[in-house]
Amino acid sequence: MTNLSRIFRTYISRSLFVAALSLVPFSLFAATPLDINTATAAEFAAVMSGVGAKKAEAIIAYRDANGRFESIDQLSEVKGIGDALLSRNKDLLRVSAAGDNASVN
C-alpha cells in the first residue's frame, strides 16, 4: 500500500507542477535573461532547454546550500548540469550583482 501511496503522491505533485507552469506565460521569461540567483524552480524548468523539474530543484538546492552564484559557469557545479547544457542555455541566463534586488519581469 505504501508503494501505491508514493506513486499517487508523485503523480499529484508532478501534475500540480505542470499545472503551475501553464499559469506562467513563457513569453514572460523570453524578453529578459533569467537571473539564476532569484529564479524559482518553475522558471528554470520553463526557460532552460534540457532542464526539467528535478534539475531545476537541484539548482535551487545548490543555491540554498552554497549561497548566490557568482557566474553562470558556476551552474556546472550542480549535479546534472554539464558543459553542453550550460552552453546551450547561456544566452538565456544572467547573474545579478551582489546588491541588485531587481526581479526578472
Give domain status of residue 87, yes or no.
Answer: yes
Q: In the chain, how many domains are there?
A: 1
Q: Which carries the bigger pLDDT value, residue 73 or residue 13?
A: 73
Percent residues over pLDDT 90 in the chain: 60
CA distances to 5, 27, 29, 36 from 74, rounded to whole Å, are: 37, 26, 21, 10
Give domain status of residue 7, yes or no.
Answer: no
One-letter amino acid at 9 equals R
* Predicted structure pTM score: 0.65
CA distances to 31, 54, 82 from 90, rounded to whole Å, are: 14, 19, 12
Contact indicator for 32, 102 with CB cutoff of 8 Å: no
pLDDT tens-digit series, residues 19-33 = 666 655 554 545 689
Give domain status of residue 10, yes or no.
Answer: no
- What CATH number is attached to the domain comprising 94? 1.10.150.310
Question: Could you tell me the residue range of the domain that residue 31 belongs to?
Answer: 25-105
Q: In angstroms, rounded to a whole number, what is the distance separating the alpha carbons of residues 98 and 100?
A: 6
- Dihedral (Cα; 104, 99, 40, 61), 10-degree rounding: 160
Residue 105 has pLDDT above 80, yes or no: no
pLDDT tens-digit series, residues 27-63 = 454 568 999 999 999 999 999 999 999 999 999 999 9
Give domain status of residue 20, yes or no.
Answer: no
Give domain status of residue 91, yes or no.
Answer: yes
Sequence-ordered strand ranges (E) for the chain: 34-35, 93-94
